[in-house]
Chain A
Amino acid sequence: MIPRYQRVFFWILAGAILLMALFLLRGCEQAREKLTRHRDETPIAAPVATPSQSVQLALADDADGSIVMVQRDVALPAESTARAHALLARLIAEYSYKTSAHPIESGPAVDDVFLLDLPLHPAIATGARTPRTSSAQPAQSAGSQVPASQLAVVNLHGTFADHHPSGIEAETLTVESIVGTLYANFPRIEQVRFLVDGQPRETLNGHADLLRTYPVLNTATRPAQGNH
Chain B
Amino acid sequence: MTPSRKFAVILLAALAGAAVTAFSVRAQLQGQPGAPPPVVAGLPPVNRNLIVLDPAHGAGDGGAVLGDHVLEKDITLAIASRLKAALAADGFNVVTTRDTGGSDLLSADQRAETANRAHPVACIVLHATATGSGVHIYTSPLPPPPAPNQTTNTPPVFVPIPWETAQAVFVGQSHDLATGLSTALSKDHLPALVGQAPIRPLDNLMCPAVAIELAPLPAPGVGATQPTDASYQQQVANALAAAIQAWRAQRWPQ
A residues contacting B by CB (< 8 A) are 62-65, 165-170, 172, 175, 202-203, 205-209, 212, 214, 224-228
Contacts and interface: CB of A to CB of B under 8 A. Distances in A.
Nearest to B127: A168
6 contacts: A65-B136, A165-B130, A167-B131, A169-B213, A224-B194, A227-B182
Contact of A169 (B63, B185, B215): B215
Contacts of B130: 165-167
A62 B132 CA distance: 5
B250 interface: no
Given A62-B131, A227-B182, A228-B134, A168 B191 contact: no
**8 nearest CB pairs, A to B:** A167-B129, A224-B195, A166-B64, A228-B191, A209-B198, A172-B197, A170-B131, A169-B132
A228 B192 contact: yes
Interface of B: 57, 61, 63-65, 72, 108, 127, 129-134, 136, 138, 164, 182-183, 185-186, 191-200, 211, 213, 215
A208 B194 contact: no
A167 B199 contact: no
B194 A169 contact: no
A227 B129 contact: no
Contacts of B127: 167-168, 207
A63 B131 CA distance: 9
Contacts of A206: 57, 61, 63-64, 72
Contacts of B182: 227
Contacts of A205: 64
Secondary structure class of chain A's binding surface, majority of residues: loop
Given A168-B213, A212-B164, 11 more contacts: A62-B131, A63-B132, A166-B63, A167-B129, A168-B211, A169-B215, A172-B198, A205-B64, A208-B197, A226-B191, A227-B192
B33 to A, nearest CB: 23
A77 to B, nearest CB: 30
A169 B199 contact: no
B198 A65 contact: no
A208 B132 contact: no
